[in-house]
Structure formats: C-alpha cells, structure tokens
Amino acid sequence: MSQTLSASESYSAEVKENTAITLTATPAQYYHLDALTVGNNAAFESGKSFTLTANTAVSATFARNTFLYKELTIRGKGAVVLKLGETVIEKGQQLPEGETVTVTLTPAEKFKVKNFSFEGLEKKDENTYIVTGEVILSADFEPIKEDGKPGGTTITPPVTPVDATPVAHCTVSPNPCEGYLHVEGISSTTVIRIYSAAGVLVFSRTIQPEETISTDRLPAGVYLLRVNGQTLRFVKK
C-alpha cells in the first residue's frame, strides 16, 4: 500500500489484517522528521515496515531546521544589526534555515566600514541574505582620515561593505566510506547534518577541523551531508 500525505492532512483506509506496510515520512525542504509514531511505538523509523494486526493510528511530526546565530565580532566603532522581518535577532538565538534576513552595518560618527564577512548566509542582494548554516558575522570599522589640506577638512566618503570572505569548498572522504568519514575544507568549529536519500535527518553534531566522524551506525546507502551551506553526497558501504 502506498499513500502520499502532507504533514497537515489526515487519511484513513481499510487494509486487510496481517498486511505488511512500509511507512515513509518525507519532510519538505528546510524541514526534518522530528517524530514518527505507529500505534504505541513512538520511535518508528521512516522507511521501515510493520504488520497491521489491528486499527492503528500513525502520526508524523516535522520540525523546521534551525541554525544558531553563533558569533558577532566588531572591530572599531560601529554597530551590526541582524533582523528576521522586523525582529532583531541577538547572538545565541536560532534562525530558521532558508529564511531571508537583513544585515545592517552602521559606522559610528567619523568612522566607515572597512570590511564585512559572514558565514552561514547566502547573499541575496545588497543587505539581505538567506540562512544556510550557523551564522558568524565579522565587521571592521575604521576612522575616516582627514586629508590635511588648508582651508578646510575633506572627509573620505564611507565605502560600501565588501563581499564576504568566501567559505572554502568542502569535500568528504573516503567516498564511498565504511566506518568513518572526514569533512575537508573547514577551518573552525562547524555543524554538520547528515540526511538519508529520502531527506530524513539521521545525524547532527558539531565537529572540529580534521575530526573523524564515525559512520558505523549508518546503514549502507546514499546520504547527503550539509555543511557551510553546501550539500555533499556520499555512499556508506
């Protein structure tokens, strides 16, 4: 028996007793399967089968993927404000994956923006970005220099913030893997998430550069690893 449902729908059907049913719950983009309940089993795994012996209630809960606003570094005099809609987001709060945020840089008087870099955001236009991972912001403000000419003071106009320092391209090895996996191309503490081919979140943790990730508990198959806004495909033997 196969039936496709959205998370907000309900469905009922009559099935012959002792029928084996395979149940798969597939989250939409930016969501993950938080819980799947079959009868009294509150920890049923998507993609597994069960035998129907009585009237059975099935429920699936999907949750939005979120990322931490982890770090804000300001050098010099100025302010950096991150907003989700009209709400100011403070460091330490969570941001929904895929949402659009705005970043506003405001130099103090007689200061200008020297440099602005970011991680965990994908630039959309001048001041708006899409959340793709843990957010780290860094801004440098520097004093505006006077030119020293007689008869008045000429102030150098503020510069436009430069584009972010690009995040290094990440790779996974070995691929295919057996008992372990390396993520190459990260330079600091980073969150990784591993999804099954059906889009179910099966693994999530914070790793350090050059850290070995155990894949012993992953069944053989194809997986998608999300890191620094990139999606990497690998195979577990």
The one-letter amino acid code at 77 reads K
At 130, is the secondary structure helix, strand, or coil? strand
pLDDT at 11: 62
The yes-or-no verdict on residue 74 having pLDDT over 90 is: yes
Q: How confident is the model at residue 4 (pLDDT cuts 50, 70, 90)?
A: very low
The yes-or-no verdict on residue 155 having pLDDT over 50 is: no
The one-letter amino acid code at 146 reads E
Q: How confident is the model at residue 147 (pLDDT cuts 50, 70, 90)?
A: low
Instruction: Report residue 138: phi and psi, to 5°.
Output: -145, 130
pLDDT at 70: 94
- Which residue(s) pair with 193 in the sheet? 204, 226
Domains with residue ranges and CATH for the chain: 19-64 (no CATH), 66-143 (no CATH), 171-236 (2.60.40.10)
CB contact at 8 A, 77 and 142: no
Q: Which helix (H) or strand (E) holds 195?
A: strand 190-196
**44-73, pLDDT tens digit by residue?**
888 888 888 888 888 888 899 999 999 999
* CA-based end-to-end distance of the chain: 29
CA distances from 175 to 5, 210, 231 (A): 34, 16, 14
Quote the percentage of the chain above a pLDDT of 70. 85
Is the model more confident about 200 or about 37?
A: 37
Indicate the pairing of strand 94-96 with strand 87-89. Answer: unpaired
How far is C-alpha 195 from the chain's CA centre? 12
The yes-or-no verdict on residue 82 having pLDDT over 50 is: yes
Largest Cα separation within the chain, whole Å, is: 96
The yes-or-no verdict on residue 162 having pLDDT over 90 is: no
CB contact at 8 A, 140 and 115: yes
The yes-or-no verdict on residue 111 having pLDDT over 50 is: yes
Average pLDDT, rounded, for the chain: 83
- Which residue(s) pair with 139 in the sheet? 74, 116
Query: What's the whole-model pTM score?
Result: 0.54
pLDDT at 102: 95
The yes-or-no verdict on residue 39 having pLDDT over 50 is: yes
